[in-house]
A = this chain, B = another copy of it.
Amino acid sequence: MKKHNFSAGPAILPPSVIKQATQAVENFNDLGLSILEVSHRGPDFVAALDEAIQSTKDLLGLGDEFEVLFLTGGASTQFFMSAMNLLGQDELACYVDTGTWSTKAIKEAKLFGKVEVLASSKEANFNYIPKDYSIPSNAKYLHLTSNNTIYGTQYRELPATDIPIVCDMSSDIFSRPIDPKRYAMIYAGAQKNLGPAGTTLVIIRKDILGKVDRVIPTMLDYRTHINKNSSFNTPPVYPIYVCMLTMRWLKEMGGVEAMQKHNEAKAAILYDEIDRNPLFSGTAAVEDRSLMNVCFTINKPALEKEFMDICTAAGCSGIKGHRSVGGFRASIYNAMPKESIEVLVNLMKKFAEQHA
């Protein structure tokens, strides 16, 4: 049975990427060796790493002022590493709290400098993106979480400010164009829109580094990895390789502009059904709805398990909502085909008719 993978992350990858990723484990570039057992300093992997870095720059339109790194440790490591590298002990960083991941980023940044939480939607279980706040002009940076996987909210516009933004884009990187000039740093765990779990993309403006005077262990200093092209130590070879394949696919699909159109069209199919169908309700504020994670509940809670079972029986997996929101969550990242969303929408239609 064909599976429709609505997992929040690790998440769906394009079938053509899975095919090439399988081949590389069996026999990488026809070398007679698996990609799992070749040197990270050999020409075949170095070419893949270089392509991954160049594709990141191409897809996002990054200028030479940016460096692209493939690190490890997830966004959770960037929560503290960004503050450790960018924020002096007496300097101010501003954060907007839009959910679990923002909250964790705030907690770690407080270890390294002054942190002001400008706004939070916690009182509404993070079901909207706060917009009404002013940003102190002395802030070193403003930290945002561009898409909130758990709550299904996403920034449609950045706040109007000249303060450089540090942004956790783990769950919507490469889903739409960005304006690089607005950012000091972007980071993203790979396992949603980019590749498998095991590597973290870090995009950083070189000129903001080297301005704090604390001691930083070698592996935690971004300059170490910039100077060694993400190969100071053995990088996570296979996860980076699969990210490179995914970015090659993204380029073939028309890049992030085309991807945004696809994503808007895909999300509209599902949100339209949620709004039309009397049995289901969206949980996020309409103007902040995420194009990546669509959260909804069933208006007759007694039917929740039955609908979940129907989804599972139809091959729709990963659709259970996060425990802090409940209900359902359909994650529809770049690689999710329209056809899978239509399968889900048809299940919703039929279920509502049966229980009218």
Contact = CB atoms under 8 A, between A and B. Distances in A.
A258 B216 CA distance: 43
Nearest to A220: B80
A37 interface: yes
Given A21-B25, A218-B107, A233 B36 contact: no
Nearest to A72: B72
A315 B32 contact: yes
Interface stretch (A11-19, A128-136, A274-282): A11-19
28 contacts: A1-B32, A2-B32, A3-B33, A5-B33, A7-B39, A10-B237, A21-B25, A21-B34, A22-B22, A22-B25, A36-B196, A40-B197, A72-B74, A73-B233, A76-B218, A76-B232, A79-B217, A84-B217, A104-B218, A107-B218, A111-B215, A111-B217, A196-B238, A197-B237, A197-B238, A198-B198, A236-B236, A239-B239
Contacts of A8: 39
Contacts of A318: 39
A188 interface: no
Interface string A312-355: 00010110000000000000000000000000000000000000
A38 interface: yes
Contacts of A158: none
A242 interface: yes
Given A21-B25, A25-B18, A238-B239, A219 B2 contact: no
Q: How many copies does the complex hold?
A: 2
A152 interface: no
Interface in A75-115: 75-77, 79-80, 84, 104, 107-108, 111
- Nearest 4 A-B pairs (CB), nearest first? A198-B236, A72-B72, A80-B217, A36-B196
Contacts of A84: 217
A7 B72 CA distance: 23
Contacts of A317: 33
B7 A36 contact: no
A31 interface: yes
A25 B17 CA distance: 10
A239 B236 contact: yes
A148 interface: no
Contacts of A2: 32
A191 interface: yes
A227 interface: no
Contacts of A196: 36-37, 237-238
Interface string A213-245: 001011110000000000011111111001000
Interface in A160-207: 189, 191, 195-199
B1 A13 contact: no
Contacts of A50: none
A10 B32 contact: no
